[in-house]
Structure 1
Amino acid sequence: MKCHNVDVIEVQLVKDYIVRLTFDDGTSGEVDISKIISFEGVFKPLNDREFFSKVTVNSDIGTITWENGADISPSYLREKIINQK
């Protein structure tokens, strides 16, 4: 169930832990995921770049996810992009 106002609709791996995200409101930009999470708990597998590279968009929850169920709030990701500009 979605509980936010913005959804990620596209993700592209740029390099290492940097992803380019596009949101349904037209916002887009790059985020270095390694700077916003600690690689602990559910995020620990993301420290493996091969595992990290399998990032996808889960349209049911409107954000990026990985095979182990890890996800990051789309509102938080959008805020990080906007604050970089």
Structure 2
Amino acid sequence: MFLHITAVTYLHEYQIDVLFNNGRRGVVDLRCELNGKMFEPLRELPLFAQVAIDPELETVVWPNGADFAPEFLYYLAFRDDPALQEQFQRWGYCAAPVEPRQTERRAPKRQKKPSARRVPVA
């Protein structure tokens, strides 16, 4: 099933409430995503508040032509959901889990000095 947006509501500042075609609803904060020529104009809240759904693209759009992929909005809305981490990795929105690196420094092992052989006393 392809992911689509079925409803969007402007909340406040740079947050929108989004309903996906799989029935999940989430709040997406786009404050940190408004970079680049197409998205910087959306920093003006009156323009940002004009968010709508494009019926052909089935995602959120703005009057200046800016839009976001539904998968990206889904990731932003639910990125902390442990059950979705594998899916987000497949989509390329999360780095694969990294094994924890050993951070403590250990002193190099001492080499044993040759010792004289002890002979038991009778």
**TM score, norm. by length of structure 2:** 0.62
In the other structure, the counterpart of 2:26 is 29
1:12 Cα offset (Å):
0.6
In the other structure, the counterpart of 2:85 is none
- Taking the aligned partners of 1:66 and 1:84, their CA distance within structure 2 comes to 27
Gaps of 5+ in 1: none
- Taking the aligned partners of 1:59 and 1:26, their CA distance within structure 2 comes to 18
Q: List structure 1 runs of 4+ shifted beyond 2 angstroms.
A: none
**What are the Cα deviations for residues 14-55 of structure 1, in whole angstroms up to 9, with x where unaligned?**
1100000001110111011112x1332111210100000000
Gaps of 5+ in 2: 82-122
- Taking the aligned partners of 1:80 and 1:42, their CA distance within structure 2 comes to 19
Aligned-CA RMSD value = 1.4
Larger Rg: 2
What SS does the aligned partner of 2:68 have?
Answer: coil
Bigger relative contact order, structure 1 or 2, given CA contacts below 8 A and separation 6+?
Answer: 1
- Taking the aligned partners of 1:27 and 1:13, their CA distance within structure 2 comes to 17
- Correspondence list, 1:66-81, <5 A: 66-81=62-77
